[in-house]
């Protein structure tokens, strides 16, 4: 760690899926929000800690209830310990998730408990490692050498969290249903960030009031440093902010140093073969899966996830079949690769919530097959946000994990705790929307 921008305060990151630790190392992530876990996080020597909510798999009602509960407990522990905090809602760098519900719930709950009113909400979806850049207020997704406006990508067509605007000002207006108009959004431009005029950025931040939205443009990590300096100055003058961001600014705010990618020795893989679970069905995930299956050391095991439509008994038989196939493959010293159907399952009359709940049900099937395994894999890779969270919490029973670092840019590795199903194995959390075509194959080649 290098010096964080808010010494003496605890940076608490609420992560709506397990991929938010994509930029940090040697910090802890807690998979529940009990008072005990939050107290541990506040009392730890690290400047920051993560709470995995996995709220991207929740309904709106569940999300609101969970964020109200978490805000209440964070406030309670802060009052007990006398340690102030900054609260970051870390979400998807391609703009999917329960926004503005999550930060609005946090704001209302904390202000209701007696916290000072929040003057502004800072939105920074920049995530360099995944090629997510914000330039002239337009958020882009990088495909090779091309920058594609986020609203023109497959992520914007998400059944549950879709959107139509790449301009962050218009995105905010769209998502807040006009409550926060585009013309009232404060924009911190690249020109401002690169001018060296910290006071000008500070003045913009000091203008915020009434939970006004503030966009931070960023194309490289150095763009974030002057912003964080100005933010610390504004906060020192009594201004209060909530954050809705991707992973990159968390690293800067928390003073997390750079480190090289993890080696096989650092990850301490066990003996034998591993297990790969691919739940994400994005085009990128499918291409990465196809590339992985060219290796002779792996064995493909298709999981017919569409059988969820045939009823519980049929679906459970499929889970049992796949689990037994995994055990046989791993015992034969090959890495088992389980993957769901590669096309999005859509039914007539689908709503946002019905589509989400069906995805959660399929992920639950993957979780069940891992939980029942009678062999211990040398490593486990989970591809996809909901998939990786369900497997970590519900299958592996991880309660807190050490983030070792990244095996590839934007792809974090946890060390599972002693109480988990497979203690001490490296757990690779591979987001569905990062990496190159060969990245999944390269990770497996490193680990076997």
- Does residue 130 sit in the same domain as residue 167? yes
Domain total for the chain? Answer: 2
The answer to whether 75 and 115 are in contact (CB under 8 A) is: yes
**Closest among 218, 174, 166 to 192, alpha carbons compared:** 218
Question: Is residue 1 one of the residues assigned to a domain?
Answer: no
The answer to whether 299 and 444 are in contact (CB under 8 A) is: no
**DSSP H/E element including 90:** strand 85-90
d(CA 356, CA 358): 5
Question: Is residue 3 one of the residues assigned to a domain?
Answer: no
Dihedral over Cα of 263, 429, 166, 170: its sign: negative
The answer to whether 246 and 125 are in contact (CB under 8 A) is: yes
d(CA 30, CA 10): 15
d(CA 272, CA 274): 7
Q: What per-residue confidence (pLDDT) applies to 1?
A: 46
CATH of the domain at 328: 3.40.980.20
- Does residue 212 sit in the same domain as residue 328? no
- Domain end, chosen from 253, 278, 294, is at 253
The pairing of beta strand 120-124 with beta strand 241-245: parallel
- Does residue 201 sit in the same domain as residue 302? no
Give the global pTM: 0.88
- Does residue 193 sit in the same domain as residue 300? no
d(CA 440, CA 404): 18
d(CA 52, CA 30): 6
The pairing of beta strand 132-135 with beta strand 138-143: antiparallel
Question: Is residue 5 one of the residues assigned to a domain?
Answer: no
* Separation in Å, CA 249 to CA 40, 129, 266, 416: 23, 12, 26, 25
- Domain end, chosen from 253, 288, 305, is at 253
Reported as half-sphere exposure (CB side, CA atoms, 13 A), residue 113 has a value of 18
- Does residue 352 sit in the same domain as residue 241? no
d(CA 306, CA 243): 38
Neighbours of 23 (CB within 10 A): 26
The pairing of beta strand 275-278 with beta strand 335-339: parallel
- Does residue 248 sit in the same domain as residue 276? no
Question: Is residue 4 one of the residues assigned to a domain?
Answer: no
- Does residue 209 sit in the same domain as residue 327? no
- Does residue 206 sit in the same domain as residue 283? no
- Does residue 94 sit in the same domain as residue 186? yes
SS (H, E, C) 352-407: HHHHHHHHHHHHHHHHHHHHCCCCCCCCEEEECHHHHHHHHHHHCCCCEEEEEEEE
Range(s) of the domain holding residue 106? 10-253
Residues 6+ apart with CB under 8 A from 256: 1, 2, 23, 24, 25, 27, 48, 250
Question: Is residue 105 one of the residues assigned to a domain?
Answer: yes
CATH of the domain at 45: 3.40.50.10840
- Does residue 92 sit in the same domain as residue 239? yes
Residue 402 phi/psi, 5-degree rounding, is -90, 125
d(CA 243, CA 134): 16
- Does residue 247 sit in the same domain as residue 276? no
d(CA 87, CA 115): 12
d(CA 127, CA 406): 14
Q: What per-residue confidence (pLDDT) applies to 284?
A: 87
Mean pLDDT, consecutive 10-residue stretches, the chain (448 aa), reads 80 91 93 96 95 91 98 98 97 95 98 97 96 97 94 92 97 98 98 96 98 98 97 96 97 94 88 88 89 97 88 91 96 95 69 72 87 94 84 91 94 91 93 88 95
d(CA 420, CA 435): 28
**Closest among 441, 432, 448, 439 to 96, alpha carbons compared:** 432
- Domain end, chosen from 253, 275, 291, is at 253
- Does residue 192 sit in the same domain as residue 313? no
Question: Is residue 176 one of the residues assigned to a domain?
Answer: yes
The answer to whether 27 and 66 are in contact (CB under 8 A) is: no
Question: Is residue 259 one of the residues assigned to a domain?
Answer: no
């Amino acid at each position: 760690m290098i010096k964080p921008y808010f010494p003496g305060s605890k940076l608490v990151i609420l992560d709506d899926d397990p991929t938010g630790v994509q930029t940090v190392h040697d910090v802890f992530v807690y998979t529940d929000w009990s008072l005990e876990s939050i107290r541990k996080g506040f009392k730890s020597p690290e400047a920051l800690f993560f709470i995995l909510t996995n709220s991207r798999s929740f309904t709106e009602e569940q999300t609101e209830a969970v964020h109200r509960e978490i805000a209440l407990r964070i406030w309670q522990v802060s009052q007990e310990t006398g340690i102030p905090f900054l609260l970051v809602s870390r979400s998807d760098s391609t703009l999917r998730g329960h926004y503005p519900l999550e930060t609005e719930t946090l704001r209302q709950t904390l202000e209701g408990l007696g916290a000072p009113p929040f003057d502004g909400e800072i939105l920074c979806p920049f995530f360099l490692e995944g090629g997510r850049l914000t330039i002239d207020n337009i958020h882009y997704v990088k495909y090779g050498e091309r920058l594609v406006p986020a609203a023109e990508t497959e992520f914007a067509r998400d059944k549950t969290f879709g959107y139509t605007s790449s301009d962050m000002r218009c995105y905010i207006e769209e998502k807040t249903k006009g409550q926060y108009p585009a013309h009232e959004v404060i924009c911190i431009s690249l020109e401002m960030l690169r001018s060296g005029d910290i006071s000008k950025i500070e003045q913009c931040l000091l203008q915020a009031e009434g939970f006004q939205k503030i966009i931070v443009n960023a194309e490289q990590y150095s763009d974030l440093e002057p912003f964080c300096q100005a933010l610390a100055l504004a906060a020192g003058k009594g201004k209060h902010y909530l954050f809705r961001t991707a992973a990159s600014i968390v690293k800067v705010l928390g003073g997390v140093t750079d480190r090289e990618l993890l080696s096989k020795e650092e990850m301490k893989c066990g003996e034998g073969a591993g297990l790969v679970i691919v739940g994400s069905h994005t085009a990128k995930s499918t291409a990465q899966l196809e590339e992985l299956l060219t290796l002779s050391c792996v064995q493909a095991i298709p999981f017919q996830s569409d059988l969820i439509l045939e009823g519980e008994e049929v679906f459970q038989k499929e889970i049992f079949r796949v689990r037994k196939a995994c055990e046989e493959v791993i015992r034969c010293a090959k890495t088992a690769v389980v993957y769901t159907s590669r096309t999005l399952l859509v039914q007539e009359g689908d709503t946002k919530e019905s589509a989400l709940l069906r995805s959660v049900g399929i992920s639950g099937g993957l979780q069940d097959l891992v939980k029942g395994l009678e062999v211990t894999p040398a490593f486990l890779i989970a591809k996809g946000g909901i998939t990786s969270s369900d497997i970590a919490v519900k299958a592996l029973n991880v309660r807190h994990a050490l983030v070792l670092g990244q095996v590839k840019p934007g792809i974090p590795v946890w060390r599972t705790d002693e109480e988990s199903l497979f203690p001490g194995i490296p757990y690779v959390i591979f987001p569905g929307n990062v990496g190159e075509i060969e990245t999944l194959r390269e990770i497996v080649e490193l680990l076997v």
